[in-house]
Structures are given as C-alpha cells and as structure tokens.
Chains A and B, each alone.
Chain A
Amino acid sequence: MARTLLKSTVGKKTIMAVSGLIMLMYLVVHMLGNLKIFFGAGEFNHYAHWLRTLGEPFLHYEWALWLIRVVLVAAVVAHAVSAYQLSRLDRRARPVAYAHKRRRASYATRTMRWGGIILALFIVWHLLDLTTGTVHPGGFQEGHPYQNVVDTFSTWYSGVIYIVAMLALGLHIRHGFWSAAQTLGAGNATRDRVLKATANALALVLTVGFIAVPVAVMTGVVS
C-alpha cells in the first residue's frame, strides 16, 4: 500500500491532500489562538504558556508542543516533496506549449505552485521572527509573545509581508481544500457546491482572522 501511494500520481496527490488537511486543521487552531490577542497581554501570554504545559502531568513540559511541531514539519515536508515531484511530472507531460496563448482556469488554481512557494518562504520568516526571534525587529523576549507580536507589526514591512502571505494562504486554501476533497474521493456532483462553499468560507475566515492581528497592531487597536 505504501509503495502504491508513493509511486502513483494519485498516491502523491493523496499525500498532498492529507498533509494539507493536517496543516489546515492546525491553522484553524492557530488563528483562534491568535485572536486572544484582542483580550489583552495577560490572556494571550497565558494561552501561550498553556500550550507548553498541555498534556501535563502525563506529558513533560513542551512535549505536546514538540509533538505538534514534528507532525507539522512532517506534513510540510510531505506536502512540498509531493508537490515538487508532481510539478516535475506535470511539466514533463506537457513539454511543448501552445502557440495560441489563452487564459486558463481560475486565479486560485493557477497560483497553487507560486502560492505554495511564497507560503514556504513565509513560514521560514515567521519562525525566525516569532519562534526563534532570529530576525525579530527589536528585542525578542522569550515568554512574552504579546510584546513580540506588537513589536513585529510595528514595522511596516513585517505587516506587509504578513498580509501578502495571508492573502496567498487564502487563495491556496480556496483551491486546496476543494482539491483535497476531490483527491480523497469526497467530491461528487451533488456535494460539489457544499465543498466549494466550505473552501471559500475556510479561506475567507482564515485570511481575515490572521490579518486581523497585524491590522489591529498597525491601527493601534492592539498595542
């Protein structure tokens, strides 16, 4: 079974779909957590701390968080590797372009590959900024996420990077969620509208939810 999955184009798509859905689930939780910033530094920082103590006393401090991180990294790698392999196959399957160019498919569909690359770069920046603090503008303070977030979005370029990435995320989810449903065989003629509506709703809610934070900081609602 594993070999069939890894060898076949349909299998690779399945890997992309499953890893994509794992990331999507994480994003929903992540976004809800982010919104706690509107309830003040105390509640936000407390939530961040709770994440590290999740599962105690059964789990040791930060174990749960690391477990999530491992799963996420695996999902990202699986998603990216499959995407890379499929893209190579796809390009090889269509070596000669048509002389007559014409606009094809929807914007969300056409931007899946570039959108994916933008998101990958964003994730690197995002981790270096708010997890390790390597590229954090101003002094990064371990254990004070509220202040770190406010510092980040106090620089205009961070806000712009973040907002652009979240728009790309919205487009990616819009086609990605529906596409994953098709790949996993959930699509059919009667269900198609529901799936498309769900994809649109998810894309919209996540984009707006994530963008709300930098906008709030930049407009001074959160400071």
Chain B
Amino acid sequence: MKLTLRVWRQQNADAPGTMATYPVDGISEDMSFLEMLDTLNEELTLKGEEPVAFDHDCREGICGACSLVINGDAHGPERTTTCQLHMRSFDDGDTIDVEPWRAAAFPVVKDLVVDRSAFDRIIQSGGYISAPTGAAPEAHSTPVPKPDADFAFEHAECIGCGACVAACPNGSAMLFTSAKINHLNVLPQGAPERETRVLDMVAQMDEEGFGGCTLTGECATACPKGIPLPSIAAMNKEWLRATRKVSR
C-alpha cells in the first residue's frame, strides 16, 4: 500500500505546531497502525530527520499508552486502540491525518505525545478503596452478587487512554471518571467511601479543566473498551445522592 500521511509535528510544549506531509510506501495490510508509523520513523531517521514521537507500549490494547486521532477519530475508524488498528482498515492511496489528543487538560508534550497526568490526579483524589496491606478480611467473608461483580468489571475495564476526552467536543472526562466511580461504588468493599469518592473525583475532574458533559455520546463511541454511556448517568446518580447526604 502507498499512503500519504499528514502528521502533527510540534517540537515541545511551548513550540507552535503544524501538520507535515509524508508519503509512505510498501505498507502491508497486516501491519498495525503503529508498525506503519515505525516504518515511517525508520525512514525519517535514516534521512537524518527527527522521527515522529508517539506514545505506545504494550501494543496489545491494554496499557492505554497509544493515543492518536486518526482522520478525526480517537484511535481511528475501528472501535479499538491505535495499536490494534490494522492497515487493512485503509485503502491504497489514502491520505491519513494523524493528530494528538486535543484537550486543555492534555497539553501536547511533543508531536503526538500528550500529558495525561490529569487522569492520575483524578484517581488520586478518590479512585481507590482504602485497604492497607494486611488489613484484608478473608475474601469470601463478603459475597458480591454476580450482577454487581459484572457491573464493576465492565467499568473497571477502562484503560485510561483518554480517547473519551479526545473525542468529546467539550473535552470532558466524565466517562473516565464515571467508570472508576461505578467500578468501586457498586462493590460492598467500596461502600464506606462511596460519597466522598464521587464528590472528590468530580471536583478534581472539574479542577483539571475538563469540560462539562453534553451527552453527545462521542466518548462511548470512541472508547476502545466499550465503557457504556449510561455509566455517566450512573455517576450522576451517585453524585446527586452524595450531594444530598454529605454537607460540604
């Protein structure tokens, strides 16, 4: 396959950026999108140009590092991570636009790499169950109904890639935040911190400069792990409940 790539190049956080055009040739349909970029980078390096910086690690769709907006879609046209997107999803001769996640809370570090530490701070604000090592009771002392366990798992699948924010026209992090809140709040182990968790995490989310939710549903469409849109409604419910119960 022969393709034309238009890639966002930006030297560092403070430098201005621009879309640069690169032709690539000899691309196999079995390549992943990142392997295609590897090919480009090998060529650029040998030509003495700087290769395109992009985040990636596990390349099996679970670490959440890869983060490209491809032709306007977070992670590209298939519902998966960029590393699991294969070139067979494109046609010979295509022009492909590759951009970084765009959000005020995710500043560009270089080229296609952005800073997603805002997500870590949201988790730090309450996305955990306080269970110091050694303090745990026997695992079977609290049964968890299977539907609740499944609900928790479905939301715990979030890989923290940030595609939801990238896809949202408001740069909102509601889907990410709700996924963690729903995972922990439905479990009996998460009950003692149920109210403070949702209030603190939502407050931190706002603090980081993410936008509000207008329920466009773009986040859930882009989510490679299929975190469902009703996750947001479930979080809102938790938040309203906590707001009623806790006076601040």
Contact = CB atoms under 8 A, between A and B. Distances in A.
Interface of A: 1, 3-5, 7-14, 86, 89-102, 104-105, 109-110, 112, 175, 178-179, 181-189, 192
A98 B102 contact: yes
6 contacts: A10-B235, A90-B211, A102-B71, A183-B213, A183-B233, A185-B240
B contacts with A: majority SS: mixed
B103 A94 contact: yes
A11 B248 CA distance: 14
Contacts of A187: 229-230, 232-234
A contacts with B: majority SS: helix
Contacts of A100: 69, 71-72, 97, 99
A208 to B, nearest CB: 25
Interface in B20-79: 69, 71-73
Interface of B: 6, 8, 19, 69, 71-73, 97, 99, 102-105, 168-172, 199, 202-203, 205-206, 209-218, 228-230, 232-241, 243-244, 247-248
B104 A92 contact: yes
B83 to A, nearest CB: 20
A89 B218 contact: no
Nearest to B245: A1
A93 B238 contact: no
Contacts of A109: 214-217
Contact of B209 (A8, A92, A99): A92
Contacts of A8: 202-203, 206, 239
A37 to B, nearest CB: 36
B106 to A, nearest CB: 10
A89 B170 CA distance: 8
Contacts of B19: 99
Contacts of B72: 98, 100-102
B212 A97 contact: no
Nearest to B154: A189
Nearest to A95: B104
A48 B97 CA distance: 60
B103 A93 contact: yes
Contacts of B240: 14, 184-185
Given A89-B212, A90-B211, A93-B170, A185 B233 contact: yes
B205 to A, nearest CB: 8
Task: Among B99, B243, B247, find the residue whose CB has the most chain A CB atoms closer than 10 A.
Answer: B243
- By Cβ-Cβ distance, the 4 closest A-B pairs, closest first, are A185-B237, A93-B211, A187-B233, A93-B171
Given A3-B248, A13-B212, A90 B104 contact: no
A90 B215 CA distance: 12
Nearest to A97: B102
A99 B230 CA distance: 30
A5 B73 CA distance: 33
Contacts of A105: 169, 216-218
A200 B154 CA distance: 29
A3 B243 CA distance: 10
A182 B230 CA distance: 7
Contacts of B248: 1, 3-4
Contact of A93 (B104, B215, B236): B104
A187 B220 CA distance: 14
Contacts of A10: 202, 212-213, 235-236, 239
A90 B99 contact: no
Given A90-B170, A104-B216, A112-B214, A9 B206 contact: yes
Contact of B172 (A93, A96, A112): A93
A2 to B, nearest CB: 10
Contact of B213 (A5, A13, A91, A178): A13
Contacts of A89: 170, 211-212
Nearest to B203: A8
A183 B69 CA distance: 28
Nearest to A185: B237
Given A11-B243, A188-B233, A94 B217 contact: no
Contacts of B168: 94
A19 to B, nearest CB: 15
A104 B233 contact: no
Given A8-B202, A105-B217, A185-B237, A93 B209 contact: yes
